[in-house]
Amino acid sequence: MSNENKTIHDFDFSLICDFFSNMERQGPGSPDVTLKALSFIDNLTETSLIADIGCGTGGQTMTLAKHVHGKITALDLFPDFIDILNRNAEHLGVQNRVKGIVASMINELPFEEESLDLIWSEGAIYNIGFERGLKEWRKYLKTGGYIAVSESSWFTDERPTEINDFWVDAYSEIDTIPNQIAKIHKAGYLPVATFVFPETCWTENYFAPKLTATKIFLNSHTGNKMAEELAASQSHEEVLYRKYKEFYGYTFFIAKKVERNSF
Ligand code: SAM
């Protein structure tokens, strides 16, 4: 495998964490897209309980915190990301209702069944897998509660081998949007809204800050071969996106938990 063809899974956690700690967000997205997804969700109040799963350093968590009054538990596997998130919550003055915790989204969610009004997860459900996450997280939602997740999608039924192979290696569960909506329905939700991220979520909100993060990262890891390979794999992702963006991207899916016997 050439260095640039390595995916994020080929690097150790501390290096990945160090790289992405220098970014406000760890995946494509933007405050506008977070707010657009939020606009499809009704009935949130000061007593609402919200989980932000795979929150990273909490870029989207802070956007949510500014626009909803409920209590947000943001969780991520990486303690450094959670430290940054909790510091940012304090700077924003929302530490009383936004709490970052270290936990895994896989088999370890610290929530009561039927307790949540909203599950949020931007660019992170792939870690458990789209279908498995939808299925296993459902029990934590109240009936009528919402799930809002962003996930990578194919835009066409067929695509060039280079980009197909890259994704099959990185995340073979990537699928077309109609198939993803069908999976949401099958998992016991009513699909409420679906929209594709604008390109700027990748270029301006993700790749541009990543360039700055790469410089800081390489400066603090001079001569470290793994660090150089991680940086190379990250810039290869950008090259692929710019070449093949008509074939894939990120999609936001918003859905409502319904009783199983209602469909
Ligand atoms: N939501 C953030 C955003 O959009 O900026 C972060 C998205 S990042 C692509 C994926 C996140 O999932 C990372 O912060 C990573 O640490 C987290 N993650 C990976 N495996 C996890 C797990 N098993 N449990 C919880 N979080 C996990």
Cα(212)–Cα(197) distance, rounded to whole angstroms? 22
pTM of the complete model: 0.94
Q: Which residues of the chain have pLDDT under 70?
A: 1-11, 261-263
133 lines ligand 1 (CB under 6 A): no
Q: Note whether 195 and 36 are within 8 A (CB).
A: yes
pLDDT 10s digits, 202-214: 999 999 999 999 9
pLDDT in tens, 151-196: 999 999 999 999 999 999 999 999 999 999 999 999 999 999 999 9
Helix intervals (H) in the chain: 13-21, 31-38, 59-67, 79-92, 130-137, 161-170, 177-186, 200-202, 208-220, 225-244
Candidate from 76, 84, 171 with most ligand 1 atoms within 8 A of CB, to mutate: 76
Ligand 1 atom 14 nearest Cα: 56
Nearest to 214 by CA among 237, 199, 230, 195: 230
Ligand 1 site, residue 27, Cβ cutoff 6 A: yes
Q: H or E element: which one contains 248?
A: strand 248-257
pLDDT attached to residue 13? 83
Residue 1 pLDDT: 46
pLDDT recorded at residue 4:
55
3 state SS of 138:
helix
